Amino acid sequence: MLKANFWQDKNNSKRVIKEKKLYEDLINSHKNSALKINDLDDLFELALEEGNLSVQKEILQNIMDIKYEVKKNEIKCFLSNENDRLDCFLEIHAGAGGTESQDWAEMLRRMYTKWTTNKGYKIQLISEHKGDEAGIKSSTIKISGEFIFGYLKNESGIHRLVRISPFDSGARRHTSFASVWVYPVLDDNIKVEILEKDLRIDTYRSSGAGGQHVNTTDSAVRITHLPTNIVVQCQNERSQHKNKETCMTMLKARLYEHELEKKEKQEQSIEKSKSDIGWGHQIRSYVLHPYRLVKDNRTAEESSEPDKILNGDIDNFLESNLYKLNV
C-alpha cells in the first residue's frame, strides 16, 4: 500500500518505481528461463531418440544463451547498493615517472572509453590535462548508463604497467603507475550540504585540443572545498556557468563518498588514496614484457591477452570483482 504522499516526493517515487521495475524484470526473466529449460529438456530427449545432431547443437546454443542471461541477472543482484544504479565520474591520474606514466594514464582512459562505447553507454570528457610530451597528466570522464557505478566502482586503485618503453632509446623495461578513482553521480534524492564560505572557485583558460574549440575566455572552472581539500575541475563546456554547475555536481558526489568513508572508519581519505601512486595499493598489473599477462591482485583473475584487455574487454575482471569482493 502506497503512502498518501508517495507521489508528492517525485525523486523518491521515481527511485521506487525504477527499483520495482528492476525486480519485476528479474522475476520475469527467471520465469522465462525456467520455461525455456523445461521445453529444451523435452526437445533434447526427442532429438536423442531420433539421433538428430543439428537439433542437439541448436539446443546447446539455446542453453548457452540462457546461461548468459542468468549470469547477467545474477550480476544485477550483486548491484544492490543504492548508488550502484547511478552514473559515475572516473578520474585517472598519472603517477611519478613523467612521460611513461602519462602515456599509461592515457592508455587506461582509452581502455575505459573502449569498454563504454562497446557497451553502448554514454561517455563525456569533463576535464583533461595533457602530458608534457605524450599522454595525459590527469583526466575526468563521466559515464552514463544502467548500473555504471556498480560495475566500475571496484576499479578504484593503482594500476601498474610493465613494458619496453617506446620513449627509451635504449629499449629498456619500465614500470609505470596510474591511479583510477570512480565515484557516483548523485541524484537530487541524496542531500549534501555545501557552504559557500567553504569553497574557493578559480577560473582559467581551457586547454583544449586546438582549433576553433579552444576558448579565448576563462571558461574552465576549478573548485576547492577548503575543509577537505577536495578539488574538482571542468573545462568541457564553453560556458563558465555550465562548467561550474558540473563542478558542483562532482563536488557533491566527492563529499558524499568522503563522508561514507569517514562513517566506515576507513584509514585514508579520497585525496590521500590518490597521493601515493607507487608500489603500494596496487589492484591490477598489466605486464607486456618479458611475458604477457594482466592480473588482478585482489581476485587473482588473469588474462594472457593484454591487448584485448587494453582494448576494453574487461568484463571478466569487472564481474570477478563483483562476485569475490561482494560476498
151 in the same domain as 101: yes
73 in the same domain as 97: no
3-state secondary structure of 8: helix
> Residue 96 and residue 137: Cα distance in Å, rounded?
10
Average pLDDT taken over every residue of the chain: 86
* Residues β-bridged to residue 177: 160
178 in the same domain as 122: yes
Look at residue 115 and tell me if it is in a domain.
yes
Average pLDDT over residues 74-99: 87
296 in the same domain as 162: yes
180 in the same domain as 101: yes
Of 210, 231, 263, the residue at which a domain comes to its end is: 263
pLDDT tens-digit readout, 211-223: 444 455 788 999 9
Provide the number of structural domains found in the chain.
3
Q: pLDDT value at position 266?
A: 41
Q: What pTM does this model have?
A: 0.73
Max mean pLDDT among 30-34, 111-115, 274-278 falls in 111-115
* Residues β-bridged to residue 180: 92, 157
295 in the same domain as 206: no
> Residue 323 and residue 312: Cα distance in Å, rounded?
20
Look at residue 285 and tell me if it is in a domain.
yes
Q: What is the DSSP annotation of 187-198?
A: -TTS-----GGG
289 in the same domain as 227: no
Look at residue 225 and tell me if it is in a domain.
yes
Domain with 308 in it: 88-186+280-325
